[in-house]
Structure formats: C-alpha cells, structure tokens
Homo-oligomer: A and B are copies of this chain.
C-alpha cells in the first residue's frame, strides 16, 4: 500500500513506523508545512520521500491527516479535493464534531473515515515518533455511516494490525466523553504547572522537592500549545462543562479541609480510590487484548 502522511509529528510519525513494520505500508510519502520535519522524518527512515501536499496525496492508497485540529479543518477538504476516487483518508484528531462538520457536504465525504487513536506522549515532532505507541490502546471511529463501508473496514484492519482495539461512536458523543477522560486532564495539569511555576518566583529551589507524584500529575503540562489550544477551543462546550464540574468538586473538597472535617474527607477519598478498580480493570482488559 502507498501511504501518505500529512503532518510528520508524534502521531503521524509513529503510525508510519508501525504500519511499515507490520508490512502494511510499502512506500511512505510525507508532507509537512515545516520542511525541517520532512527532512528529519526522511533521515529517520519514517518516510521514503516528501512532496508538496497535492502531489503527495494524489496517488496514495491511504492518506493519514495528522496535524493539529485547527489545521485539519483546512487541510482535510484540500486532501479530499486532491485525491483520486480510490483513496481512503483518515484523520487522528482529538476532536470530531467540527472536523466532521467541515467535510459533511464534500463530494468525497465517503472516502474519509473520522478516527481518533487514543495514544500519545507529551512530546512532539518527528523525533518524538516511537515504535509500538498504539499497542493495546483504543481507537475511535466516528460517524461510520457516512463513510464507505470498505474504507471503514480498511481503517479498522490496519488499527487492529498495530495492536489497537477499535470502537465506534457518534462524533458528539466522542467529544463529550473525551472532554472528561483526556481534555480535562490536560487543563488541570497545565494549571498545576502554572501554579507551581508562579510560586517558584518567590520560593527558589522549590522544585528540588518535587517527587514522582508531582512529575506524574504535571506531565501533561509539557504538551504543546500548537496541538492543545485548538483542541480546547473546538471542544469548548463539553470541556467547559467538565471544568465547571471539576471547579465545583474542588471547592467542595477545599471546604472539607477548611472545616477540619476529617470524617467526610476520609469517606470522600475512600470513594475516590474506586479509580484504582477502574484503571487497573482497564489495564487488565487491555493486557488480555480486550
């Protein structure tokens, strides 16, 4: 299969690596508005060659659009304009409603499969691409009824081949759920980073005291503004709902501490520990291949 990857960052690069190692992609063309990313991806063997967008996609069997979600709104219609009828196109964006809306009336809408592999790290660019990033993770295909069934089948098969569990969902349902289990985590991690960086100005060397707990909670605060600014804005409605619930819960938790309410605090934390069941159940399920 001839694969073209539009956007040679962490996700596009890692998909190219895995699809090559699984013998799914034979020849890989890359394209990126940043020419340094093209050169670096070629140097790393992630892509075989690079070309301008229209040329890169016109003879592809599969095009993966892996650019920030604001850029996807512009690039995805361009890709659909430029491809042949036989080409299948997928994206990897962390939002789905606005992206699906941007191409809903496109004449090649059925060539496109709306897709979101839930995998990543806090790093970006082609050097951040890693082997096996998607193994035992989940990908979500949205609005499958608007895509050609054979295109959906292809997208399903290649994700399963790289170790993923494929689920299906409406675009709005996707955005509502992902607001809670991904976007909210990023917001609270960014705000933790900000709060501690601010106090660092007055309290020198405060980070000397940071342990693995802080590192874990603040890890997502390293994520790039190029990727996350447009995600937050495209998923504004659901994200604000989750942030407002979070703010209310944090206020309540604060009051338990302020009131020295040890019993309620103990009970509350005990209930929250249920998150262990959820996270470990999930790990177990994934380890068993679902």
Interface residues of A (CB under 8 A from B): 118-122, 137-138, 140, 167, 176-178, 180-182, 184-200, 203, 206-226, 228-230, 232-233, 236, 239-240, 242-247, 249-251, 253-254, 257-258, 260, 262, 265-276, 278-279, 281-282
Contact = CB atoms under 8 A, between A and B. Distances in A.
A250 to B, nearest CB: 5
Given A176-B203, A216-B219, A217-B220, A257 B269 contact: no
Contacts of A232: 257, 265
A236 B268 CA distance: 17
Contacts of A228: 269
A156 to B, nearest CB: 16
Specify which of A186, A220, A229 lies most central, judged by the most chain B CB atoms within 10 Å of its CB.
Answer: A229
18 contacts: A118-B210, A181-B206, A184-B195, A185-B218, A188-B191, A191-B253, A192-B246, A193-B274, A194-B268, A194-B271, A195-B246, A195-B249, A197-B271, A210-B278, A217-B217, A222-B275, A225-B270, A230-B262
Given A222-B275, A233-B265, A247-B251, A282 B188 contact: no
B209 A118 contact: yes
A275 B218 contact: yes
A190 to B, nearest CB: 5
A249 B115 CA distance: 33
Contacts of A275: 193, 196-197, 218, 221-222
